[in-house]
Structure 1
Amino acid sequence: MSRPMLNLDLREIIFLIPCILAGFTVHEASHAFIALKLGDSTPCEQGRCTWNPLAHIDLIGMALIIFAGFGWARPVPINPNNFKNPKRDEIAVAMAGPASNLLLALVFVFLAKAISLTGAFGAAPVGPNLYAFFGYMVWVNLLLAIFNLLPVPPLDGSTLVLAAIPDRYAAQKAAFVRYGALALLAVILIGSFTQINIFPIGRLIHAVFNLLYRLVGM
């Protein structure tokens, strides 16, 4: 996951930490549970079929995303050989992560709408802060969903590309995975330290964020 560099204050850090914890946990646990449903118990054997954030969070990746602008969670291990239809099921497992983040973003859009309808949710400043927190939750989960759909290893979107490449090109697929990951890291580092956004993720998230809020009349 990557986000633009920010000059974070204490309030933003307090909001971001639970949002990132929730987003990463839902994302990775969804991978694990869908893999189990499709016949692969590998994630459960590795302790990943749980909603406990401690099973999914990488502390260094968590700290980096807050203070450096990019980071990661612990990837969920799967064994495609356990699937009945490996290509189809591997895609389903990969897409479960972004789909779960999009669903969580939608939930918090509706919660934000509920806050706006009730006015101050309890004594001030609880209401405004809660409303702002819901906005952070929507933004972080949209970021996770959209960023992970990029067709670049090791992101979830690369599974679609790999599935489309015939098996006879195994060497090319391996090179795509190996060098794609290095290219992605280079792009993230360039974006984080130079503000050059090769992937217009921020603008896309902003557009989707505004669209969701407009759809609920906000």
Structure 2
Amino acid sequence: MSNFLAFPLEVIPYVIITLIVAFTCHEFAHAYVAYKFGDPTAERQGRLTLNPLAHLDPFGTLLIFIAGFGWARPVPVNRYFFKRPRLAGVLVSVAGPLSNLVLAFLGTAISFILAATNMLSAIPENYGNSMLQFFDLFVSLNVMLFIFNLLPFPPLDGYRIIEDLSPANVRAKLTQYESYGMIIFLILVITPLDRYIIHPIFDVGGTAVMNLFYFLLSPIIG
């Protein structure tokens, strides 16, 4: 069975905990920013909450165990409630990936602190190693979700950002061909093409994000 999974069986509990936190914070961030800009749609549908059951998508969650990446249920947004639809739309879309970036940074900071203060020496070695393994997975998955959701394919946040930044005539054409973009996206993520297109993006982007974290944390922690 483990041959069909993207993660070893022994770390599956860490993956589940991480996904619950990451997906919940991601969708809550979308809902919260939309609500602050005047859109009550998500709040009325019970999505302005940190309850994971309101946000998890069965297929998107399952895919992350098999392919290594996935998604939660998209938060409904009605841009007609926004006074400045394009600005609000971009900020709502950015909020989700940004929440994963913040979670990854916090996980990295905790790992740095544990290593710098030698706090793990006070607990049994196997628990210390498990804790470090959890935070390593927590950080890597949240970085992956940050990058993945910024890819310019529908229905991801990166596509919504491009859509809101585009002129009206371009946005109309994007909407016209959106279904084809979704098909291309699914082909890229569920076929071997992901090894040549998606994974290299993760490798380069993940390295850049971690280098930024180390740059920010090193002067503070030493």
Is 2:168 the partner of 1:130?
no
Give the distance between the partners of 1:115 and 1:109, measured in 2 at CA: 10
Name the Cα RMSD after superposition.
2.1
Give the % identical residues.
37
Give secondary structure in 1 for the equivalent of 2:31.
helix
Structure 1: state its 5+ residue gaps.
none
User: Relative to structure 2, which stretch is displaced further, 165-174 or 8-17?
Assistant: 165-174
* Higher share in helix: 2
Distance verdict in 2 for CA 1:163–1:144, change over 3 Å: same
Contact 1:106 1:212 in 2 (8 A): no
Alignment coverage as a number of residue pairs: 212
Consecutive aligned runs of 4 or more in structure 1 exceeding 6 Å deviation: none
Structure 2: state its 5+ residue gaps.
none
Give the distance between the partners of 2:17 and 2:82, measured in 1 at CA: 34
Distance verdict in 2 for CA 1:72–1:78, change over 3 Å: same
Give the distance between the partners of 2:193 and 2:168, measured in 1 at CA: 39
Flag the structure with more relative contact order, 1 or 2, with Cα contacts below 8 A and sequence separation at least 6: 1
Distance verdict in 2 for CA 1:10–1:109, change over 3 Å: same
Task: Report the counterpart of residue 101 of structure 1 in structure 2.
Answer: 100
Contact 2:67 2:189 in 1 (8 A): no
TM-score normalized by structure 1? 0.88
TM-score normalized by structure 2? 0.86
Task: Report the counterpart of residue 142 of structure 2 in structure 1.
Answer: 141
Is 2:195 the partner of 1:196?
yes
Task: Report the counterpart of residue 177 of structure 1 in structure 2.
Answer: 178
Give how far 1:209 is off. Answer: 5.2
Give how far 1:201 is off. Answer: 2.5
Is 2:5 the partner of 1:12?
no
Is 2:84 the partner of 1:85?
yes
